[in-house]
Amino acid sequence: MRQILHVDMDAFFASVEQRDDPSLRGKPLVVGGAARRGVVAAASYEAREFGVRSAMPMAEALRRCRHLVVVPPRGDRYIEVSRKVFDVFHEYTPLVEGLSLDEAFLDVTASRSLFGDGEAIARLIKKGIYDATELTASAGVAPCKFAAKIASDFDKPNGLTVVPSDVAAFLAPLPIERMWGIGPKTAPTLRRLGYQTLGDLAKADPAALERALGSWGPEVRELARGNDPREVVPDREAKSIGAEVTYDVDLTTREAVARTLLAHASRVAERLTMAGLVAGAVVVKLKLHDFTLLTRRMTLPSPASDTRTLHDACLALLDRFPLAGARVRLTGVSAQELGPAEAVQPTLFRDEKQDKRRDVENVLLRAKERFGNKPITFASLLEDKTPRAAPEGDLERLPTRRR
Ligand SMILES: [Mg+2]
């Protein structure tokens, strides 16, 4: 039988902030933008006691907890800590599939002869992570991905849950909301149809489930029965590096959107360079005023990490969105298919222009490290006619810690 681990850091961004700044420990804290329309990226366990959750609008979070501390995200720091966590994973198996900076599936089936059973390996990994980062993680151990993922969430924080070999029996009593993709929209429908638990879904008539959930129905039934043959597909440590901003005022012109993409591309380039990574693909994401989410993706001719290349790709992608009359409330850029910068294939004809751009990026970065964050940026970022993401006045009024 396979042994799959799902390991998930506890309140990752918030825990990193509390670790780095002792004055934040024990306090209800969220990481996120302080803008009225911003959302919570991560909430500390103290904040969760007030009902504050990640992905919640910041305004709602502040309503629920008046003395909430809002800390701006420090992506580079999280990437740095994430690398240490993934280094620990790789001590136990090469089969590591990262889902995000703080979460991964590991197939440790072949590692057992060296390190003991799945539970023993999970313990070693949790200890290894703590030794390397002073942070806790929760782990689930199971014969398949689906059950491992559910198990890691069972006993958070600092949890370890081992699913017995009878996976279906373990899953049966759990509420249907534990199923991937069954959220606040689908759950009431299913409950009305008489499905309350994963056990009910496991016993369901496949045709009835297909009527209720569409083509996804039969798969849900199989998952609920503990049948999940999906392999752990080893991947790079971070799947993507992105930047995005929700605006207080909708963007209505292509120019305004393009300018935000330049800012994002610059930020992503900086983070790629800092992490020593290059991107093979670029994704642009736009959310419209009615919350429709649109994305367009492009593979780069060769992997890159410089602002100009990323921004050029963004502009090309922007032409592929139906923008006429659109009101855009969020824009984002992410770099995908990440690889180590030094492993860029030396081609016969090196792209000298790109090498030069990468050098410029490195110089900018070193200058920033030396002189602080403010003065050095691409000139066009300075002509900022875009509505500010976070009006300074708001920031002052919010109980925000500024760095
Ligand atoms: Mg997590």
- Is 231 contained in some domain? no
Q: Quick one: pLDDT at residue 346?
A: 42
- Is 343 contained in some domain? yes
Output 367 or 161, whichever has higher pLDDT: 161
Instruction: Write out pLDDT tens, residues 166-222.
Output: 999 999 999 999 987 787 888 999 999 999 999 999 999 999 998 888 878 888 999
Taking the CA atoms of the chain, what radius of gyration do you get in angstroms? 23
Output 55 or 356, whichever has higher pLDDT: 55
Query: Of 150, 165, 180, at which residue does a domain stop?
Result: 165
Q: Quick one: pLDDT at residue 190?
A: 92
Are residues 211 and 244 both part of a single domain?
Answer: no
Are residues 220 and 281 both part of a single domain?
Answer: no
Q: Quick one: pLDDT at residue 218?
A: 86
Are residues 310 and 257 both part of a single domain?
Answer: yes
Q: Quick one: pLDDT at residue 347?
A: 43
Are residues 256 and 379 both part of a single domain?
Answer: yes
Residue-number span of the structural domain to which 305 is assigned: 240-392
- Is 230 contained in some domain? no
Q: Quick one: pLDDT at residue 399?
A: 33
- Dist CA 184 CA 182 (whole Å): 7
- Dist CA 170 CA 167 (whole Å): 5
22 preceded by cis ω (within 30°)?
Answer: no
Q: Is the pLDDT of residue 387 over 60?
A: no
Tally the domains of the chain: 3
Cα-to-centroid distance, 217 and ligand 1 (Å): 28
Please compute the mean of the pLDDT values over residues 250-257 and round it to a whole number.
92
Q: Quick one: pLDDT at residue 313?
A: 96
Round the average pLDDT of the chain to a whole number and report it.
84
Are residues 182 and 272 both part of a single domain?
Answer: no
Cα-to-centroid distance, 7 and ligand 1 (Å): 8
Q: Is the pLDDT of residue 88 over 50?
A: yes
Cα-to-centroid distance, 352 and ligand 1 (Å): 41
Q: Is 337 a residue of the active site? A: no
Are residues 93 and 151 both part of a single domain?
Answer: yes
- Is 229 contained in some domain? no
Instruction: Write out pLDDT tens, residues 304-330.
Output: 999 999 999 999 999 999 888 889 999
Cα-to-centroid distance, 9 and ligand 1 (Å): 4
Are residues 259 and 272 both part of a single domain?
Answer: yes
- Is 62 contained in some domain? yes
CATH code of the domain containing 247: 3.30.1490.100
Count of Cβ atoms closer than 10 Å to residue 285 Cβ:
18
Give whole-number Cα distances, 78 to 82, 104, 279, in Å: 6, 15, 18
The DSSP string of 223-277 is HHTT---PPP----S-SEEEEEEEEEEEE-SHHHHHHHHHHHHHHHHHHHHHHTE
Q: Quick one: pLDDT at residue 37?
A: 66
Q: Quick one: pLDDT at residue 20?
A: 97
Are residues 355 and 377 both part of a single domain?
Answer: yes
- Is 235 contained in some domain? no
Say if CB 125 and CB 137 are below 8 A apart: yes
Report residue 1's pLDDT band, with 50, 70 and 90 as the boundaries. Answer: confident
Please compute the mean of the pLDDT values over residues 154-172 and round it to a whole number.
95
- Dist CA 132 CA 327 (whole Å): 45
Cα-to-centroid distance, 8 and ligand 1 (Å): 5
Q: Quick one: pLDDT at residue 385?
A: 40
Are residues 264 and 323 both part of a single domain?
Answer: yes
Are residues 63 and 176 both part of a single domain?
Answer: no
Report residue 248's pLDDT band, with 50, 70 and 90 as the boundaries. Answer: confident
Are residues 355 and 210 both part of a single domain?
Answer: no
Write out the two tokens for 319.
Answer: 């032409």
- Is 233 contained in some domain? no
Q: Quick one: pLDDT at residue 63?
A: 95
Cα-to-centroid distance, 319 and ligand 1 (Å): 35
Write out the two tokens for 251.
Answer: 């963007």
Q: Quick one: pLDDT at residue 353?
A: 63
- Is 258 contained in some domain? yes
Cα-to-centroid distance, 153 and ligand 1 (Å): 9
Cα-to-centroid distance, 10 and ligand 1 (Å): 5
Q: Quick one: pLDDT at residue 216?
A: 80
CATH code of the domain containing 189: 1.10.150.20
Q: Quick one: pLDDT at residue 370?
A: 54
Q: Quick one: pLDDT at residue 338?
A: 81
CATH code of the domain containing 19: 3.30.70.270
**Which position among 103, 237, 270, 361 bears the catalytic label?**
103
Q: Quick one: pLDDT at residue 361?
A: 67
Cα-to-centroid distance, 11 and ligand 1 (Å): 5
Are residues 193 and 304 both part of a single domain?
Answer: no
- Dist CA 330 CA 289 (whole Å): 8
Least confident of 13-22, 61-70, 265-274, 362-371: 362-371
Please compute the mean of the pLDDT values over residues 372-391 and round it to a whole number.
42
